[in-house]
Amino acid sequence: MSQLFHYGKEQVGRALVESGWGWLPTVGWALLAAGLIGQPRELVWAGSGVVACAALGSWLVARRRFHAWGLAATTQLHGAYLASLARRAEGRTPDAGTTLQRDLTAIDKVAGFYNVLVPAVLGVGASWVLLMGLSLWQHSLVATLPIGCLVVVALVLRLLTSRVSRRDRACLHRFVALGQLFLETLGGLTTLVSYEAGTLFGQRFASQSERFRRATMRVLQTQLASLIAINGLVYLTLLLAPLALRGPLGGRAAAFVTLATLMLNGRQLGYFSHGIKSQRPALREVFGLLEAAPRVTADLPAHPQQLVMRDCAAAFDDQSLFKNVSLTLAPGGLTVLCGANGSGKTTLLNLINGSREPARGAILLDGQDLAQFSAQKRASVIGTLGPAPQLFSGTIASNLKLACPDDARRRAFLARWQLLAFIRDLPAGWNTVIGENGRLLSPGQRQELALAMLLLTDKPVYLLDEITTSVDRRTTKHLLDVVGALSRSHLILWVSHDPLVQAHASKVYQLAGQLALKGGR
């Protein structure tokens, strides 16, 4: 909770002030009650006015604003989370896309803290203060009535809860049993097919599914019924209040309405607590990451001037893929690697980035043997991009933020290299949601975004594997210009069959069991 306060300080502050809208109806009812139990008539008018204004104000203004603050606070948390992730992973592309997705969803859910919890807590507090005041003023009856109502509501809720969880449990057991049956049948599928028992299996599966569907529907019906019961109680209280406004019951009516406000806010708190509970494991991860120690310093040279592959060999299952491969990468020009499918180009890149160890030979970065360093440490200086990049389903902007949390540097970099020009044609621009692994973008746009993300990580060494297969000619030329310019200061090895890419290279190597220099400018 304290972390939520910490990250949305500004929003919590505003919500506290604006929650005054939530307090106003309560104050209004207090004035109304005072007027009705014998105080000056003007108080009745004042009370009615305040109630009307407050109700209008809270519906027209506060709700929308709370929503905006919830959004602003979660955006801030998103940013902090992605920045920590980028630092922790030391540029490693997060391989657990689903975890990332889960964490970001959990952050979205905490918006409720800013737009539900703060106003609801204040509303509950204000209602209680008024109830106490009224009970002191009106003696025991006003005090006992609402408290009695609360007890009844609590008992009804308790009853409903135990009923719902019993049904939930029954439904879950049914679900597990169904899953078990399915797995068993799947295990014996070959037998089923041999005995042509497919139809029987189909019938059994259909009847199990139907039973499961009915059980689920019953749970949903019970949950709906409990919700209707709560709402019914709240609205009945509100409905009864005006009937009792005339005469000496005015104070009690105010108490009823206050109680209804209390219950409405209580229901909001219930929603919030349910939402947060379901996200607790993910939130623990998120805040654990935010509080974890920052960047681990890499021992590898931050600005290496030479990468040497010395007499390297790779083999799978004792089958040699290539041997005696020696290669030097240095700033000052692009190095391209080509070769037939399956000749081992990707494997060669994997030897450099540490995903695979060479069967023989060594790879040195400014004279330091890379074998001494973990794959994670290598990833802090070596960036790799393949033909199937990993993106997450946020917006283009949030994906880029993961690669480079520094807004100014990110903007300057993209502007300098004129990258991602296609964004101008997207209606939502940088805020375009790209879907899981960027599926809402075209393959070429996905590839361009992934390359921009890689280059934003600002590594001294880049390994590119067939990154322009889905990219059009014009964009390929542009990417070549960018990568070509960067190759003057960076060490870049690009695997490509494309003659256009090869034409831009200062050295072109061909891999076919061994490595041979094929050409270059």
Ligand X SMILES: Nc1ncnc2c1ncn2[C@@H]1O[C@H](COP(=O)(O)OP(=O)(O)OP(=O)(O)O)[C@@H](O)[C@H]1O
What is the binding site for ligand X (CB under 6 A)? 316, 321, 339, 341-347
User: Considering beta carbons, is residue 123 or 339 the nearer one to ligand X?
Assistant: 339
CB of 309 to ligand X, least distance (A): 15
User: Considering beta carbons, is residue 258 or 346 the nearer one to ligand X?
Assistant: 346
CB of 117 to ligand X, least distance (A): 50
DSSP letters of 160-182? HHHHHHHHHHHHHHHHHHHHHHH
- Tokens representing residue 122 in the block: 């204040």
User: Considering beta carbons, is residue 95 or 407 the nearer one to ligand X?
Assistant: 95
CB of 327 to ligand X, least distance (A): 15
User: Considering beta carbons, is residue 297 or 341 the nearer one to ligand X?
Assistant: 341
First vs last Cα of the chain: how many Å apart? 61
CB of 466 to ligand X, least distance (A): 6
Walk across the sheet containing 514-519 and list its strands: 382-385, 461-465, 491-495, 335-339, 507-512, 514-519
User: Considering beta carbons, is residue 48 or 355 the nearer one to ligand X?
Assistant: 355
User: Considering beta carbons, is residue 119 or 339 the nearer one to ligand X?
Assistant: 339
- Tokens representing residue 482 in the block: 């960018």
User: Considering beta carbons, is residue 30 or 338 the nearer one to ligand X?
Assistant: 338
C-alpha to C-alpha distance for 44 and 55, rounded to whole angstroms: 16
CB of 347 to ligand X, least distance (A): 3
| 320 strand-pairing partners | 315
User: Considering beta carbons, is residue 317 or 425 the nearer one to ligand X?
Assistant: 317
| Among 380, 237, 186, CA closest to 296 | 380
| 339 strand-pairing partners | 511
Half-sphere exposure of 105 (CA within 13 A, CB side): 15
| Among 337, 368, 344, 341, CA closest to 358 | 344
User: Considering beta carbons, is residue 347 or 398 the nearer one to ligand X?
Assistant: 347
DSSP letters of 320-370? EEEEEEEEEE-TTS-EEEEESTTSSHHHHHHHHHTSS--SEEEEEETTEEG
CB of 359 to ligand X, least distance (A): 12
CB of 478 to ligand X, least distance (A): 24
Phi and psi at residue 276, to the nearest 5°:
-70, -40
User: Considering beta carbons, is residue 167 or 345 the nearer one to ligand X?
Assistant: 345
User: How far apart, in Å, are the Cα atoms of 180 and each of 177, 186, 205, 212, 279?
Assistant: 5, 10, 12, 13, 27
User: Considering beta carbons, is residue 196 or 318 the nearer one to ligand X?
Assistant: 318
CB of 341 to ligand X, least distance (A): 4
User: Considering beta carbons, is residue 345 or 459 the nearer one to ligand X?
Assistant: 345
| Among 406, 388, 394, CA closest to 469 | 388
CB of 363 to ligand X, least distance (A): 16
CB of 312 to ligand X, least distance (A): 13
Kind of pairing between the strands at 360-365 and 368-369:
antiparallel
C-alpha to C-alpha distance for 34 and 41, rounded to whole angstroms: 9
How would you label 86-99 residue by residue, b for 16+ Cβ within 10 Å and e otherwise?
bbbbbbbbbeeeee
Phi and psi at residue 419, to the nearest 5°:
-90, 155
| Burial group, residue 340, by CB count within 10 angstroms (0-12, 13-18, 19+) | exposed
- Tokens representing residue 31 in the block: 């004035």
CB of 465 to ligand X, least distance (A): 7
CB of 496 to ligand X, least distance (A): 10
